[in-house]
């Protein structure tokens, strides 16, 4: 199976640098809608068999142009939502960003028992995303079509976390070294327990991913 893991388009909270993780979240900006429209030609060479989004409106708005182009009805799943910011929700200050990002780094380092203050643990965040991926796989397996390509529209922090901890060829500390832009895509292939990252935005990935790229901050939302 091929998964196209897509971060949503730009929102007003992204522009403000706010940790906006609760439902329903901010709408796309005008630029964000343009970014969503641009996904259609960008995916022209991709077979897309199904589309999944989170419960936050920005992922559904980002997926809408592709869904309309392919004649697909997106499946909405709460498990694809962003890593909850808890006590620092909607804050824009440096201390809040540090708390959020250091918690993500703790999870990437294997300490999944740590909780985001006022929110979920790493086990809970990964577990809910895993459950949706497992559902996607189970439905494909039941239909005898595990060669499907599925577009998953989600959020920056949870996509980076899941890819880094579930793709065998990504080092866990890759999360701290790689940004994921609005409508950036991580392409992975495989099956539950055996995922491989093929590309991260425009960069192909082979073997064990290197971690010598500039740090770009938490990019939550």
Q: What's the CATH code of the domain at 26?
A: 3.40.50.1240
- How do residues 32-74 score in pLDDT, each as one tens digit? 999 999 999 999 999 999 999 999 999 999 999 999 999 999 9
> What amino acid positions are annotated as catalytic residues?
8, 82
- Count of domains observed in the chain: 1
User: Is residue 151 one of the residues assigned to a domain?
Assistant: yes
Write down the pLDDT at residue 221.
78
User: Is residue 214 one of the residues assigned to a domain?
Assistant: no
Calculate ∠ Cα 44-153-131, nearest 5°. Answer: 125
| CA-CA-CA-CA dihedral for 218, 204, 185, 73, to nearest 10 | -150
User: Is residue 189 one of the residues assigned to a domain?
Assistant: yes
Domain range holding 19?
2-204
CB count, 10 Å around CB of 211? 16
**Contacts of residue 112, Cβ cutoff 8 Å, sequence gap at least 6:** 121, 122, 123, 126
User: Is residue 211 one of the residues assigned to a domain?
Assistant: no
Residue 108 has pLDDT above 80, yes or no: yes
User: Is residue 114 one of the residues assigned to a domain?
Assistant: yes
Helix, coil or strand: residue 214: coil
User: Is residue 215 one of the residues assigned to a domain?
Assistant: no
- State mean pLDDT over 208-219: 37
């Amino acid at each position: 199976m091929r998964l196209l893991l897509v971060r949503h388009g730009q929102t007003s909270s992204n522009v403000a640098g706010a940790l906006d993780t609760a439902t329903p979240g901010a709408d796309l900006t005008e630029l964000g809608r343009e970014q969503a429209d641009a996904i259609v030609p960008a995916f022209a060479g991709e077979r897309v068999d199904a589309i999944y989004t989170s419960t936050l409106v920005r992922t559904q708005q980002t997926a809408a142009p592709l869904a309309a182009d392919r004649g697909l009805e997106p499946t909405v799943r709460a498990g694809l939502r962003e890593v909850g910011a808890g006590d620092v929700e909607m804050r824009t200050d440096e201390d809040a960003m540090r708390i959020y990002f250091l918690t993500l780094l703790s999870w990437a380092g294997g300490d999944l028992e740590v909780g985001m203050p006022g929110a979920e643990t790493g086990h809970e965040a990964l577990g809910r995303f895993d459950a949706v991926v497992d559902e996607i796989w189970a439905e494909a397996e039941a239909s005898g079509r595990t060669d499907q390509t599925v577009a998953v529209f989600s959020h920056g922090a949870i996509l980076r976390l899941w890819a880094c901890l579930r793709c065998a060829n990504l080092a866990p500390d890759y999360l701290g070294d790689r940004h994921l832009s609005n409508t950036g895509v991580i392409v992975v292939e495989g099956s539950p327990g055996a995922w491989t990252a093929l590309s991260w935005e425009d960069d192909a990935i082979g073997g064990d991913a290197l971690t010598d790229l500039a740090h770009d901050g938490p990019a939550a939302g």
